[in-house]
Amino acid sequence: MPSLATLPPRKPGLAVMFPTLLSLGLGIVAGIPVVGKLQALGIVVSQKGRTFHPETIVVSKGETIVIVNDDSDLLHHAYVDSPTFSFDSGDQEPGSRTPVTFTQTGVFQVLCGIHPKMKLVVRVN
């Protein structure tokens, strides 16, 4: 019998992942957009209909949000330009997922370089 030191690390089983999968499945079945913290994915922010969904979020310093282009036919281009933090996604194709890790505290506005009315306010504690 191998010792515990030689056994490969175990991947999380279904029992560990069940609460996340259940929440995701119930949200989809109920027609509720699943926007929130999903294990290891960060906070998901959708870009759809030339709008960020949600339009305001609060995160902790060092936390990552994932901006998803949920429009089937539109490019987006998310960016933040502030004296303490900047980010530029480049052009985001439909279906693309762009992670952004907020390394500074403050209130930041994420804008779309293609659709100027799109705004997401991120408060970083």
- Quote the pLDDT of residue 6: 52
pTM: 0.66
Which SS3 state, helix, strand or coil, does residue 43 take?
A: strand
Indicate whether 78 pLDDT > 80.
yes
**Mind listing the pLDDT tens digit for each residue in 20-49?**
444 445 444 444 444 444 434 579 999 999
Mean pLDDT of 11-19: 47
| Domains, the chain, ordered by start | 35-124 (2.60.40.420)
**Mind listing the pLDDT tens digit for each residue in 55-73?**
999 999 999 999 999 999 9
The CA distances from residue 70 to 36, 47, 62, 65, in Å, are 15, 5, 25, 15
